[in-house]
């Protein structure tokens, strides 16, 4: 199942820089591993903001919840999710 996931990062201003850097490094490793597994299909920065638009390809809602709640930045993000389905005009056979 495909989901559009929008994440906006709100790191508290009083978080020490080294603590924030550590969480961001963990987040990067976590995100890159999910991309290698094919579960995090697209990861785009929203220009001009500390936010991203992502496409996840997971088995079901429960797996999406598990992966998203495991994000090291999860406590510091506003997240919105939308389920996707194939567009009838899409020419891409791998769209599901």
Residues at the contact surface with ligand MUC, assessed by CB under 6 A: 7, 9, 27-28, 31, 43, 52, 73
DSSP-assigned beta bridge partners for residue 9: 77
Nearer to ligand MUC by C-beta: 49 or 89?
49
Place of tokens 């769209």: 95
Element housing 17 (H / E): helix 17-36
Q: Minimum distance from CB of 61 to ligand MUC (Å)?
A: 20
Tokens (6 digits) for 95: 């769209």
CA distance 22 to 71: 13
Q: How far is the CB of 45 from ligand MUC (least distance, A)?
A: 6
Q: Which is nearer to ligand MUC, 41 or 52 (CB)?
A: 52
């Amino acid at each position: 199942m495909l989901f559009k996931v929008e994440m906006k990062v709100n790191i508290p201003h009083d978080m020490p820089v080294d603590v924030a850097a550590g969480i961001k490094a963990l987040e990067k490793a976590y995100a890159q591993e999910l991309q290698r597994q094919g579960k995090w299909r697209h990861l785009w920065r929203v220009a001009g903001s500390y936010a991203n638009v992502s496409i996840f390809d997971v088995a079901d809602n429960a797996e999406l919840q598990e992966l998203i709640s495991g994000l090291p930045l999860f406590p510091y993000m506003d997240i919105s999710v939308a389920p996707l389905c194939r567009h009838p005009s899409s020419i891409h056979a791998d769209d599901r």
